[in-house]
Amino acid sequence: MARPRKPADSSRNKLLQVRLVDSEYESFRDAAERANLELSVWVRRHLRRAASSTLKAEEITTVSDKSFHLGIRASVKEVFWAALSGTSEAPILEDSGRIKLPKDADLPERLQCIHSQVLSIVEAVKPKTASIRLQETFIARKPAPKAFGSMLDRARIEGVLMQTLYNAGVEVWTGGLKAMRSEMGATHSLKEYLSAPDLRGIDLSAMKSEMKEAVVAGLALMEE
């Protein structure tokens, strides 16, 4: 898929605004726990700052020149995401997390869970762009029925991710590993990058393979 056009101000994200009082913070936290939402470190830090501020109900504004990019990698059980800033040559991993899907829920409920939690992430991070690492479409041989069913479920999850992000005003790029390698301007295979202990200064040593791919996806749309 072609790279989406960037708006004229895509390199700047001037204001991150948080408006919360103590009671609102508690309500948000309770709602997140009920939804099984794993609050990221980055989100918790800003929520605590808002809740403990002496300004209370007044608007708390921090100025930032950072433009955030989301990298996403889905599976049938979880959705991994990474928020990056900086440039493709000197990226900064600002935050990361995963959306755990309800184990015993049917597919519509799992898709709704993804939709609502992705909206929460977008509201907190305010990304300009999002890159979704799609599953490969080339099939060497006919898959087993269970594997084929998983492929279809993952495709549905990826579709909900695209639709939710697009409707939230986020530019969306999608592609497989080969397309990601091309967008990154990589000189080696992505397997070499993913097996290395770090990627352009980002520590990959403790990450699951899906999270590594989310990081790589986030690099796909970053400017040099």
Structure tokens given for 128 = 């300009």
Classify residue 20 by burial, with Cβ atoms within 10 Å: 0-12, 13-18, 19+: buried
Which CATH number goes with the domain that contains 203? 3.30.420.10
pTM for the model: 0.68
* In-domain check, residue 109: yes
Considering the domain boundaries, does residue 49 fall inside one? no
Q: Which residue range is the domain that position 214 belongs to?
A: 67-219
41-52 and 22-34 helices cross at what angle (nearest 10)? 150
Please give the pLDDT value at position 97. Answer: 94
Its sign, for the CA torsion 196, 200, 203, 208, is: negative
Number of structural domains (the chain) is 1
* pLDDT tens digits, one per residue of 99-155: 999 988 888 999 999 999 999 999 999 999 999 999 876 665 676 777 788 888 999
Asked if the structure places residue 117 within a domain, the reply is: yes
Question: Is 87 within the bounds of a domain?
Answer: yes
User: Does the residue 98 lie in any domain?
Assistant: yes
Q: What pLDDT digit, counting tens, does each position of 76-106 carry?
A: 999 999 999 988 888 999 999 999 999 888 8
